[in-house]
Amino acid sequence: MSDDYLLRGRFLLLGGGDGAPTKKEKNNLTPPNNKKEVKMKRVIYWDVDGVLRDIVGTLGIKLDWGQFPYEIVNQNLEVLINANTLPYVEVLKKVKNRMNCKILTAQPFEHWKPYLIKFLERIGVEDVEVIFVKHGKEKLEILQDGDILIDDYPFKKEDVKKGTVIQIDYEYNRNSGLPRVSSPEELEKILQEIEEK
């Protein structure tokens, strides 16, 4: 692993403080050429909000994509720990010891990160490495061939250059052209098929 990585426990912050991987880090993230090694190195990245954690639903409000109750959450930061989980958490728990799973998340504020870590501890996935990026689109820069990102962000098919994005089905991301799932059972089946390849 690159000396430029800043490790804190099992939590990884990329780059020189802005969250984006440096050029040296991107080179170190290049997958091996051999297919067997790619299978062994494949990473299943999991987004948090909209995939594992439901802050908006916990607060009982309905918002359009791009809107978020930052002020409400900042007045009650405990919601970041105690928010409802989404059913995809159970899939992560089932596969995290068999597959190379990592959390890949863009938290809007630095002071939210410790609350995310406590949330992951609360739901029993504290042993999964966490990588923070500044913005959702930066996740695509980390993906390598063979990697999978499970996310609700409305990426477009043409934005994905490497790896595969599987979207959790929401109204705001339905025009992406990307593979999608609408239940934990669907996601588990896809991951099982990938694991068996």
Residue 150 contacts residue 88 (beta carbons within 8 Å): yes
Task: Could you list the beta-strand ranges (E) of 93-152.
Answer: 101-106, 129-133, 148-151
- pLDDT of 29 higher than 80: no
Kindly state the average pLDDT of the residues 7-17.
43
What is the per-residue pLDDT for 179?
A: 95
Rounded-to-integer distance, Cα 132 and Cα 107, Å? 7
Is the pLDDT reported for residue 97 higher than 50?
yes
Any domain includes 79: yes
- Number of domain units in the chain: 1
Q: Is 1 within the bounds of a domain?
A: no
Structural domain of 107: 10-22+35-196
Judged against a pLDDT cut of 80, whether residue 4 lies above it is answered with no
Instruction: Please state which of the ranges 18-27, 134-143, 144-153 shows the lowest mean pLDDT.
Output: 18-27
State residue 176's pLDDT score: 93
Q: Is 16 part of any domain?
A: yes
Rounded distance, CA 136 to CA 82, Å? 23
pLDDT (average), residues 54-66:
85
Q: Is 4 a member of any domain? A: no
Neighbour-count burial of 76, counting CB atoms closer than 10 A to its CB (0-12 exposed, 13-18 middle, 19+ buried): exposed
Q: Looking at the domain assignment, is residue 72 inside a domain?
A: yes
Both structure tokens of 140 = 């695509």
How far apart are alpha carbons 171 and 2 in whole angstroms?
A: 39
How far, CA to CA in Å, does 42 sit from each of 61, 63, 95?
A: 37, 34, 13
pLDDT in tens, 116-130: 999 999 999 999 999
Q: What is the CATH number of the domain that holds 107?
A: 3.40.50.1000
CA distance 11 to 13: 7
Judge whether residue 32 has pLDDT over 80. no
In a domain, 2, yes or no: no
